[in-house]
Amino acid sequence: MNHKAPLVEFDEERLARAALTYLAEPGDPALGALLGICDPAEILAAIRADLLPGTGPGCGDSPASRAALGRALGRWRSRLPRLPDAEGMAGACHDGIRLICPGDAEWPGALDQLGQARPYALWLRGAADLRLASSRSVSMVGSRAATGYGEHVAGEIAADLAEQGWVMVSGGAYGIDAAAHRGALAAEGITIAVLACGVDYPYPAGHADLFTAIAAQGLVVSEWPPGCHPARMRFLVRNRAIAALACGTVIVEAGERSGALNTARHAADLGRPLMAVPGPVTSAQSAGCHRIIREWAATCVTGAADIIEMLSPMGVPHALAPDGATAPAPPPGSGPPTSVDGAPSGDDLDADSARVLGAVPARGGAGTSTIAVDAGVDLDTVLRCLGRLAGYGFIERGNRGWRLRKH
Amino acid sequence: MNHKAPLVEFDEERLARAALTYLAEPGDPALGALLGICDPAEILAAIRADLLPGTGPGCGDSPASRAALGRALGRWRSRLPRLPDAEGMAGACHDGIRLICPGDAEWPGALDQLGQARPYALWLRGAADLRLASSRSVSMVGSRAATGYGEHVAGEIAADLAEQGWVMVSGGAYGIDAAAHRGALAAEGITIAVLACGVDYPYPAGHADLFTAIAAQGLVVSEWPPGCHPARMRFLVRNRAIAALACGTVIVEAGERSGALNTARHAADLGRPLMAVPGPVTSAQSAGCHRIIREWAATCVTGAADIIEMLSPMGVPHALAPDGATAPAPPPGSGPPTSVDGAPSGDDLDADSARVLGAVPARGGAGTSTIAVDAGVDLDTVLRCLGRLAGYGFIERGNRGWRLRKH
């Protein structure tokens, strides 16, 4: 599956999306809004021409938003001198590096849940198929300054998950991230490193060999183009992709101000199951984990079995493969089976989950307790079912509560 | 406050209740049912006369229950030869040992929540006032085979709680229990050891000095009479009293089959806040704690501050002292302030707790999620408020859900 993207595949949209990864930071709200109403190629042409793109409804109509768009245009144009030409961008696809865009077969539908913050495109380096790998994946993140306990536990859990066919997603950093990747590799599992720099940029430098090993057995992924260096803000932006790619997120050691808690928040915002591994209360590195457990933001998990139980959808996972294919895993966000009218079907769910799904409104939103009452199930059950239904992509959490997810 | 009970205080009822602690095991359902309809003295007379007591409604009416009562009578009569005479029972009150009965000023109203399983009487040894001490108390229990980590954490938390005026209740066993008692003593706090044997019976033998120290600064408490030896079943029966005496229960280290989880279940059944301290997931001694946290039966706590936050009633604790007195602490189960019609008053509660209290029905019962909807608060809030309202004695959990507690 190690497919180099040949030059011919860079059609106009692909070329424009590649260019946008050079010109704009991922998650730029102005570009996200524009992409909702304009073609990537139109936007790129407007940037080159120094014209404000996006005069359609909902974007750039107010003076304030046109002013913001003007500033964004200035930012993007300032990087034009560094933008490679078409040949250069296609040429970045060397040594197993390739570009995937929304709409590609390998694009993980789970990322679309990010809405306007969806990556413009993804640069990949490695052997695995991203959509397939992420469809049965757990992200595990934690402190760079991990303790021996944390690294041991992260490695053990990652290996146990890999042995049961789960893919480990992490951020490639020192500490817990590295232990998670290495645990998966040791068990000959697939692991995905989502970087805050180019997929060919060895950061941290001490992990160059680790990234090579990950690419050989899994994937190195980035929203930034090859050659791009990391920056402080990029790690925070990158965290949303880690949370969005995986079926659920596990925090192993996080101090009170750990960046891992930022990933945790993204997972919770996306309605994906959030889990945390406890540790000694005497360890500051576990304080963040204990806090999110105490506040019931995260479920306490102690091993791979707990995690798999949280993430395994109700009923028979195989019955829920996308498009009726025999995919080996439940595809989070890649679209559950739909009935004729396009609404999620509960046919393959267990009784409790089906009842809970039936109590989630299609529009607006409903609170957890309202859903529990309507479904006639207790609190523990509704929380477990909502987590699974959300992780599976049946439902999502909006401003007004839980609602069915549109597909 | 070290009051020896003089002989003259052993009136007929007191003498009868003392005798029942010799003749029947605590928590005997037949005796609990009888005490609901007969005077203790009547029951004692019936036992002596070998007559079935309790021919009133609700007790002993069916052939099956009369047969059960007959068997119970046989059990109680079999111990008559060992029953001291009146002088002997009063004579058991030596060296600071005393007897308290329901209705006494020192009787903790919190125990009445046990219903028919309420202790017949309590033997005390020590300097403190049980009602006052238990009114601001935390029970902390855990493994006898504790790790160094567990003992360290239990001791630290107990000392921190004691420094803030909280009383430590535990079971006097090796391991976590001893660390909890010792932590409180070290901080010059009051601690209560609830034993499964007589208050003068040094079990475990290695704790004879510890019990002497506890009696000097706090209380040794038992439902069994002086001289009584411990037995396996007695520990389980004793556990309900530990849970019922304290405002909340904290588990520090419990293996999957630890007796501490039995105490935890009693606390949960009583609607008292249940907390657990996490530990390394690699430690079997923390597995029980992690399980009850994971199943959301217990709140994850990491120190005294978390525990106090869970147990402190809403609003100003001092405003809630019984009978308008300036008691130093919220009196769980000893009766919250009542309005003119005898219903709990929410005047001193914070807004969320008052809303939740307003949504709890006086009769029947309502589920947690129903209450959340009716009160218009979210899940976390309703759970926190219900725990506090229950711990404070405003409400209780019956077969059909939460309801106002009758006073």
**Of A261-265, B86-90, B176-180, minimum mean pLDDT range:** B86-90
List of chain B residues whose C-beta atoms are within 8 Å of the C-beta of residue A277: 281
pLDDT for the residue A328: 35
**Of A52-56, A272-276, B196-200, minimum mean pLDDT range:** A52-56
pLDDT for the residue A8: 43
Average pLDDT rounded to a whole number, residues A160-178: 97
Which of A149, A290, A302 lies closest to B300 in CB terms? A290
Average pLDDT rounded to a whole number, residues B118-130: 95
List of chain A residues whose C-beta atoms are within 8 Å of the C-beta of residue B149: 280, 282
Average pLDDT rounded to a whole number, residues B324-335: 36
Whether B159 contacts B187, CB under 8 Å: yes
List of chain A residues whose C-beta atoms are within 8 Å of the C-beta of residue B277: 281
The separation between CA A49 and the C-alpha centre of its own chain, rounded to angstroms, equals 33
Distance (Å, whole) CA B6 – CA A169: 73
Given an 8 Å threshold on Cβ–Cβ distance, is B153 in contact with A282?
yes
List of chain A residues whose C-beta atoms are within 8 Å of the C-beta of residue B382: 369
B141 or A337, which is more confident?
Answer: B141
Minimal CA separation from B113 to chain A, in Å: 25
Given an 8 Å threshold on Cβ–Cβ distance, is A302 in contact with B281?
yes
Minimal CA separation from B268 to chain A, in Å: 15
pLDDT for the residue A38: 93
**Mutation test of the interface with chain B: which of A176, A250, A274, A281, choosing the one with the most B Cβ atoms within 10 A?**
A281
List of chain B residues whose C-beta atoms are within 8 Å of the C-beta of residue A379: 367-369, 379, 383
Kindly identify which residue of chain A lies nearest to residue B371, measuring between CA atoms.
A369
Kindly identify which residue of chain B lies nearest to residue A285, measuring between CA atoms.
B280
Average pLDDT rounded to a whole number, residues B327-340: 36
Whether A256 contacts A149, CB under 8 Å: no
Whether A346 contacts A354, CB under 8 Å: yes
Distance (Å, whole) CA A286 – CA A307: 18
Question: Does residue A2 register a pLDDT over 60?
Answer: no
Question: Does residue B3 register a pLDDT over 50?
Answer: no
Whether B138 contacts B167, CB under 8 Å: yes
Distance (Å, whole) CA A405 – CA A390: 9
Given an 8 Å threshold on Cβ–Cβ distance, is A153 in contact with B282?
yes
Q: How distant, in Å, are the alpha carbons of A124, B270, B271, B338, B373 from that of B386?
A: 50, 12, 8, 18, 13
Length of chain A: 407
Minimal CA separation from A343 to chain B, in Å: 27
List of chain A residues whose C-beta atoms are within 8 Å of the C-beta of residue B286: 278
Q: How distant, in Å, are the alpha carbons of A177, B100, B157, B271, B407 from that of A154?
A: 8, 54, 28, 36, 52
The pTM of the whole model exceeds 0.80 = no
Given an 8 Å threshold on Cβ–Cβ distance, is A300 in contact with B300?
yes
Q: Please give the span between the terminal C-alpha atoms of chain A, in angstroms, as a whole number.
A: 28
B62 or B224, which is more confident?
Answer: B224
Domains of chain A: 10-80 (no CATH), 109-311 (3.40.50.450), 330-404 (1.10.10.10)
Question: Does residue A76 register a pLDDT over 80?
Answer: yes
pLDDT for the residue B323: 34
CB atoms within 10 A of CB B332: 30
**Mutation test of the interface with chain B: which of A294, A371, A385, choosing the one with the most B Cβ atoms within 10 A?**
A294
CB atoms within 10 A of CB B388: 27
ipTM of model: 0.71
